[in-house]
Structure 1
Amino acid sequence: MSEHDADPPEVARVAADLIRFDTTNFGGGRSRGEREAAEYVGAYLESLGLHTDYYEPVDRRTNVCARVPGRNRDKPALVLHGHLDVVPAVAEDWSVDPFAGEIRDGILWGRGAVDMKDMDAMILTAVADVLRAGEQPERDIVVTFFADEENGGVEGSALVVRDRPEWFAGATEAISEVGGYSISVGDRRAYLLQVGEKALLWIKLVARGRAGHGSALHPDNAVTALAEAVAALGRTHWPIRLTDTTTQLLAGLADLTGDDAGDPDLLAQRAGAASGFLRSTLRTTTNPTGLTAGYKHNVIPDRAEALIDVRVLPGTEEAALADIRRIVGPAIEIEIVHQDIGLEVPFSGDLVDAMVGELGRHDPGVPVIPYLMGGGTDNKALSSLGISGYGFAPLRLPSDLDFTGMFHGVDERVPVDALEFGRRVLADLIRTY
């Protein structure tokens, strides 16, 4: 048993509390627990002497915000934001109750331990560290927690920036998930700083045929047509296409390994457990995630549908859709269920220097490498207000922990020591930046 099991630090206690709110987002407007989690967060912020605002544009999809006054009101405000919802967890697949917030052997387990109640707790306790010490941040800090991020933010951040833009008045930059964590490249450690996100295309493939008896010879079978299209798309090997960020990523990996950057895939594979995450940033990905067809074993349906999660490099959305239409063929209809922009900001500037500097101060001599995330965050919504977003949830992780593999996976967990590291880094960042 770890010393943290019986008496965990505050950041772990807050993260565990948040995990115990079952904030499962099932998509399609179906969610639970977000209001209660937002009220917990709001009460915590109010206990620090801050004023909180709530916005619930859709019933029980609650967003909460507080502004921490800074010493230098002439500097632009900085947004620290997180989301309180999580993806579903099938309890029988887990080693622990996914909503128990259990701490065992110095590890916090539960849905959201990685995505992203760990960062939510680090934000809250970092702000608390500064305010309880009687200090102020260097600039105004806008602390915001959104609903519905796991459904693209359509009932969360998208509505907040539309209806409550005053929450972010004076802000030009933002920090959230998914970056700042360490990876192991061979026997060396490095930190990934997220400076971009792939664009999002959630599409539905629809195949139509002729209904009939399941025993018949039936060439016009919608399920068969859909299956062929799904297999073709899911097995497509999309070509590598580098951006400024992924070029810098590969150069950083090459420096660490001594390898030539000529084969991006092989170089990314040197990042061990994080290689799958990094390889996905080098190309378009088209992953089938759902199938719907039929209603009885002996009835051939006249319609079959598939959900495809498409992530493309910023600015390549139309070209990717044209390729998808070619791959699935003219008989398959394509519906766009949800679409959102890609982002890419420079790995330079005062905020980047400050984040890199704090990691260097807390973990000296470890390089920081920029990367483009395959998924998306609420930074997409904030960009509509001219706010540049970064992924910086600083975690110093053990080399044998497959951290990136636990996003939306089973047995999410994070070391308590890593949470404490992140709290310290974030607190020092907002003190000085």
Structure 2
Amino acid sequence: MTLYDDTLELLQTMVRNACVNDLTADSGEEFRNADTLAEFFAGTENVEVERFEPHPGRVSIAFTIPGTDETAEPLTLLGHTDVVPVDINHWSKDPHGAEIIDGRIYGRGTMDMLFITASMAAVTREIARNGRPKGTLTFVGIADEEARGGLGGKWLSENRPDAFSWRNTLSETGGSHLPITDGSDALVIVVGEKGAAQRRLHVHGDAGHGSTPFGKDFTVVKLGEIARRIAAIKPKVSGSELWHTYVEAFRFDEVTEKALLEGTDPTAYEKFGRLAAYSYSMSHLTIAQTVSKAGGAINVLPSSGYLELDVRPLPGTTDDDVDEILKEGLGDLADEVRIERLISEPATVSTTDGPLYDAIVETFNEFFPGVPVIPTISAGGSDLRFGRRLGGVGYGFALHAKERSLADVFAQLHSHDEHLHLEDLDLTVKAYRSLVGKFVGA
């Protein structure tokens, strides 16, 4: 079998294992994919294997090929093995069937991110079979990424940071294309991600019987006004070099480019087409109101309630900055609101130079000669942030055909009938083999 055949067979098995993470500790059951990976590597020489199980069934597994040169740069491939739930009523295919139809493989996790995980595993095994590389190479099948890594990448970085190197890491995603206005091409490399600043806004009002509302201070009405004021907050546009490079890559007209870079006209984002929402998120702190709660019985005036916000800050924005933005938006209601911090994590960004970044650009050029590479940040999260916090660099890496834009890739993430073009699997396997081989000297 070829490297591609091995990867496809592994991908199908991992999809069928259905390691569904519903954000509870007892879900996921990534031990199934860990066992599959252990079987895949069984009998392979030069590989050291270690399993991690911080909670029953939530298994991550690492395969390390020690390098022959202690001074050579190490490389770690972080592939998560869990997937998000499905709404079966909206799928036309078996979400865990890994069916191949018309040059595509369907199933939950095919795009996010089992195709990359399988490619990482297959390339690592092939390199091990050919001997030891100069630099140490590790592939990690990580649990619990979809729940922000508390039983996976986060746990490993805090409890076993020495289990493998975090100095140079690759994970999801990258290698899709930007729809440049003049029809030319550009490739995306993900160099960072926004942070998380989840907030719960607590408010209080008058309790009482629903039959006597006169003169009462209504918690529900107050919540509504708070929600309206939060929705009216307009954060400033990013002044980062990443945002400038991204906008300039599209080759918009001068007026549009100026409006986007200076944040003077929100309608200019429509020029990005299907990438409008992502482009806005990449350039702004965003605030999504996701949960509202007050009351229980229909005949009781609730004396308290809360509103939950999913806030995603840009690099350089602190928790105090976020709270100040919320207070300014609340205005004269700020003193009546208690801001509770929930999950709070800073944004992380890796440098756009250095040996790993340069190797990625060189690899892209092998497959798409002369095409510019545009660094971006992810609006969501990945396991790469844990390596960055430990002082390493991390990049999203895969490779897609020119027909697959960044918007096409985004459209598959957590979607109904999630699928991957087999052409993109082939490209990603070849790209990983080239990049990993050159970087660790295999």
TM-score (norm 2): 0.87
Q: Which amino acid aligns with 2:315?
A: P
1:325 lines up with 2:327 in the alignment:
yes
Decide whether the 8 Å contact of 2:351 with 2:393 is kept in 1.
no
Q: Distance in 2 between matches of 1:315 and 1:161?
A: 22
Q: Distance in 2 between matches of 1:15 and 1:274?
A: 28
Shift of 1:413: 1.8
1:383 lines up with 2:417 in the alignment:
no
Shift of 1:425: 0.2
Aligned to 2:174: 179
Q: Which amino acid aligns with 1:321?
A: D
Q: Distance in 1 between matches of 2:24 and 2:178?
A: 34
Q: Which amino acid aligns with 1:432?
A: K
Aligned to 2:426: 420
Identity %: 26
1:396 lines up with 2:401 in the alignment:
yes
Decide whether the 8 Å contact of 1:9 with 1:420 is kept in 2.
no
> What pairs with 1:25-424 in structure 2 (closer than 5 Å)?
25-49=21-45, 50-132=47-129, 134=130, 136-169=132-165, 171-186=166-181, 187-217=183-213, 219-254=216-251, 257=252, 259=254, 261-264=257-260, 269-317=270-318, 318-328=320-330, 329-396=334-401, 398-399=403-404, 402-424=408-430
Shift of 1:136: 4.5
Decide whether the 8 Å contact of 2:398 with 2:431 is kept in 1.
no
Give the direction of change, closer, same or farther, for the CA distance of 1:331–1:130 in structure 2 (3 Å limit): same
Aligned to 1:3: none
Decide whether the 8 Å contact of 1:84 with 1:146 is kept in 2.
yes
Decide whether the 8 Å contact of 1:215 with 1:298 is kept in 2.
yes
Shift of 1:324: 1.3
| Per-residue CA distance 1:74-110 (angstroms, 9 max, x = gap) | 2121111022222332221233332222222111222
Q: Which amino acid aligns with 1:427?
A: R
SS of match in other structure, 2:83:
coil
* Higher mean C-alpha deviation, range 266-275 or range 204-213: 266-275
| Per-residue CA distance 1:151-178 (angstroms, 9 max, x = gap) | 2222222221222122224x52111113
TM-score (norm 1): 0.88
Decide whether the 8 Å contact of 1:205 with 1:335 is kept in 2.
yes
Decide whether the 8 Å contact of 1:56 with 1:62 is kept in 2.
yes
SS of match in other structure, 1:48:
coil
Give the direction of change, closer, same or farther, for the CA distance of 1:296–1:406 in structure 2 (3 Å limit): farther
Give the direction of change, closer, same or farther, for the CA distance of 1:321–1:410 in structure 2 (3 Å limit): farther
Q: CA RMSD in A?
A: 2.6
Q: Which amino acid aligns with 2:408?
A: D
Decide whether the 8 Å contact of 1:185 with 1:271 is kept in 2.
no
Decide whether the 8 Å contact of 2:313 with 2:346 is kept in 1.
no
Decide whether the 8 Å contact of 1:119 with 1:393 is kept in 2.
yes
Q: Greater CA radius of gyration, 1 or 2?
A: 2
Alignment coverage as a number of residue pairs: 422
Decide whether the 8 Å contact of 1:397 with 1:415 is kept in 2.
no
Shift of 1:258: 6.3
Shift of 1:34: 1.7
* Higher mean C-alpha deviation, range 28-37 or range 112-121: 28-37
Decide whether the 8 Å contact of 1:181 with 1:397 is kept in 2.
yes
Give the direction of change, closer, same or farther, for the CA distance of 1:28–1:268 in structure 2 (3 Å limit): same
Shift of 1:422: 0.6
Q: Distance in 1 between matches of 2:384 and 2:342?
A: 20
Aligned to 2:263: none
Instruction: Give ranges in structure 1 of 5+ residues lacking alignment.
Output: 1-7
SS of match in other structure, 1:9:
helix
Q: Distance in 2 between matches of 1:208 and 1:90?
A: 36
SS of match in other structure, 1:181:
strand
